């Protein structure tokens, strides 16, 4: 049975030493309660619950899966009891407003909790995880009456939420949505249509499920401009706020999936179900992006969660499993063979996993600070600051979602490889991690969609390259004072300086060429995203290594000297072995589209 141990030492290092979360929280309007003592208590409690309750349910939950019978969905054994503990612990409301029953703490605290939940049991974490975007959408766009009606039960976790976008004939292309919303004399709407691939669309964990649904009004214009957003509960809400009569929403089936088998992915049928409009007519997609961006950052966490879980399993196995002798001579002469961890190629795989997990964690924790600042600007009604941080987060989001899920999948596959044939066997848990990780590059927008969003919407159209210039300015400001330094610190600083300049030049070259070649953005976008991800992760590894060097030089935390040395060594591995991949992506990004587009469609295959 695989085990999970929350990486609290690494989390504390990032929070307290690299990103200075205590000072960050002190500046926030809602950060007064987030004292170091309170944060530590939350981390410890979340870690204990994830290790002792969620992790033991992961493997058997995958083996059992969800059950569908006569329109009803039931979750695997132990999930209902675990979810009741989640609700009783107040975990859902950690970062939501006190007026709706939440604890009002900064958003980033929910990110730390979500990472541990995801690494321990991703399938379980999806049930409350989908509710977060539902809550955020209602908070931002719903009327006060709607917020009062739905948010208390959602914030407590007594109810869960979903987002219903995809239909059988369309996934990413939402212009093809056919679900209809017929207005009624009482101001409500009757929603009719079928939605599919709805994560946590039906289950037995909560007494009600609140669906956020995209649909068209009868007079709506064609395309995405004619999409509106509706709230449609599984059970209608009575005057006292409780779940009442069953709405005309039914689960037609659940999907039989490659992974995340303990998470119910449903086909939902809306048969003139009662719904209410959120926000303005025909502006549903604008409101839905609040939900989608929340979900995309959550999916970025999946990449890190699976990298961490796979690394922990692979490291334990590599220390215990003995096979052959090390090339440089016997390392364990009293044993029949040396442990796998002595072999250079196994170390390559383990260090790649470690670099991905810890580098990605730093990227997400830094983005979480930006999310805190954006919400703080909302609380202080500072619209200029809100727009600034929203733009920053919009730049981070496709990189985090696209790059980190691809890297998380690589880490999961490497975990299987370390185990060899045993990695292919269910009982060790490694093949489950790989199967679970595979979906992360697909849902909430494939890697290709994230890449188009980054290069097309955020870089070229949205900011004309300003978002890249802003981030590389941060890189250069950090690297500049260290350029002349000897040792790995100076080498990292010089590498980051070079990549910062190249990132801007690459952006300019693509911008210039895209004006003449309309296929260029589509052909180069994934390479551009991966280049951006490797360079951004390099910056955060340089930050971590610098902080570790400072701690070692000062003698602070002598008991953590091994931890700091490992940070520096992992950073050196990243710069030597992983960051060079960025150069290959840059070369591919600048390749002409001719080799992609010259072949006639009929020439791809010859029967």
Active-site positions read 444
Contact yes or no for 593/519 (Cβ under 8 A): yes
Strand-pair category, 189-199 with 265-278: antiparallel
Please state, as a whole number, how many other Cβ atoms lie within 10 Å of the Cβ of residue 176: 12
Q: Distance between CA 287 and CA 475 in Å, rounded?
A: 33
* Residue 303 Cα distances to 346, 356, 358, 406, 436, angstroms: 21, 9, 11, 7, 10
Contact yes or no for 291/163 (Cβ under 8 A): yes
The structure tokens listed for 98 are 């006190």
Strand-pair category, 189-199 with 180-183: antiparallel
Q: Distance between CA 105 and CA 375 in Å, rounded?
A: 11
Contact yes or no for 549/466 (Cβ under 8 A): no
Q: HSE of 170 in the Cβ direction (CA atoms, 13 Å)? A: 16
Three-state DSSP state, 185: coil
The answer for residues whose C-beta is within 8 angstroms of residue 234's C-beta and 6 or more apart is 202, 208, 209, 210, 211, 243, 246, 247, 249
Coarse DSSP helix, strand, coil percentages of the chain, rounded to the nearest 5 percent: 60, 10, 25
Pick from 216, 429, 403, 409: nearest CA to 312: 429
- Greatest Cα pair distance in the chain: 84
* Residue 100 Cα distances to 94, 96, 104, 239, 242, angstroms: 11, 8, 9, 17, 15
DSSP bridge partners of 191: 181, 273
Q: Distance between CA 308 and CA 387 in Å, rounded?
A: 33
Q: Distance between CA 402 and CA 447 in Å, rounded?
A: 5
Pick from 274, 538, 521, 292: nearest CA to 403: 538
């Amino acid at each position: 049975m695989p085990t999970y141990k929350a990486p609290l030492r690494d989390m504390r290092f990032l929070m307290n030493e690299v990103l200075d979360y205590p000072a960050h929280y002190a500046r926030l309007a809602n950060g007064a309660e987030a004292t170091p003592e309170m944060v530590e208590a939350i981390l410890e409690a979340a870690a204990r619950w994830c290790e002792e309750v969620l992790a033991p349910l992961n493997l058997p939950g995958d083996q059992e899966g969800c059950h569908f019978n006569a329109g009803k969905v039931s979750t695997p054994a132990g999930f209902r009891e675990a979810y009741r503990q989640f609700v009783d612990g107040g975990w859902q409301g950690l970062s939501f407003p006190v007026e709706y029953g939440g604890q009002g703490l900064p958003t980033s605290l929910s990110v730390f909790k979500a990472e541990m939940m995801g690494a321990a049991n991703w399938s379980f974490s999806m049930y409350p995880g989908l509710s977060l975007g539902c809550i955020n959408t209602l908070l931002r766009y719903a009327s006060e009456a709607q917020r009062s009606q739905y948010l208390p039960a959602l914030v407590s976790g007594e109810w869960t939420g979903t987002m219903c976008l995809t239909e059988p004939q369309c996934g990413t292309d939402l212009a093809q949505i056919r679900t209809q919303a017929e207005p009624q004399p009482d101001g409500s709407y009757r929603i009719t249509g079928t939605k599919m691939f709805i994560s946590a669309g039906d289950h037995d964990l909560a007494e009600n499920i609140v669906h956020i649904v995209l649909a068209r009004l009868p007079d709506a214009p064609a395309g995405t401009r004619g999409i509106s957003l509706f709230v449609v509960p599984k059970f209608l809400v009575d005057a006292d706020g409780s779940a009442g009569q069953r709405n005309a929403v039914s689960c037609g089936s659940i999907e039989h999936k490659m992974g995340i088998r303990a998470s119910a992915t449903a086909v939902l049928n809306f048969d003139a179900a009662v719904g209410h409009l959120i926000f303005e007519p025909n502006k549903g997609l604008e409101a839905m992006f609040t939900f989608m961006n929340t979900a995309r950052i959550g999916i970025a966490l999946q990449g890190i969660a699976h990298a961490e879980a796979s690394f922990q399993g692979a490291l334990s196995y590599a220390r215990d499993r003995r096979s052959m002798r090390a090339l440089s001579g016997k390392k364990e002469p009293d044993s029949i063979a040396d442990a796998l961890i002595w072999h250079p190629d196994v170390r390559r795989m383990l260090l790649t996993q470690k670099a991905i997990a810890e580098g990605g964690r730093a990227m997400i924790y830094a983005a979480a600070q930006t999310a805190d600042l954006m919400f703080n600007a909302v609380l202080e009604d500072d619209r200029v600051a809100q727009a600034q941080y929203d733009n920053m987060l919009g730049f981070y989001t496709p990189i985090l979602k696209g790059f980190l899920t691809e890297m998380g999948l690589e880490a999961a596959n490497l975990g299987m490889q370390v185990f060899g044939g045993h990695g292919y066997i269910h009982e060790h848990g490694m093949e489950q991690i790989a199967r679970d990780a595979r979906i992360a590059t697909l849902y909430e927008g494939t890697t290709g969609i994230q890449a188009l969003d980054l290069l097309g919407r955020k870089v070229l159209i949205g900011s004309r390259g300003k978002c890249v210039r802003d981030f590389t300015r941060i890189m250069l400001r950090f690297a500049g004072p260290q350029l002349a330094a000897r040792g790995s610190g100076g080498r990292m600083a010089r590498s980051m300086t070079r990549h910062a300049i190249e990132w801007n030049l690459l952006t300019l070259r693509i911008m210039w060429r895209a004006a003449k070649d309309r296929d260029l953005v589509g052909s180069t976008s994934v390479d551009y995203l991966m280049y951006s991800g490797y360079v951004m992760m390099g910056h955060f590894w340089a930050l971590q290594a610098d902080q570790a060097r400072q701690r070692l030089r000062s003698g602070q935390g002598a008991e953590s000297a091994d931890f700091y040395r490992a940070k520096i060594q992992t950073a050196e591995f990243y710069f030597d072995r992983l960051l060079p991949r960025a150069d290959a992506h840059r070369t591919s990004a600048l390749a002409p589209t001719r080799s992609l587009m010259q072949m006639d469609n009929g020439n791809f295959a010859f029967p």
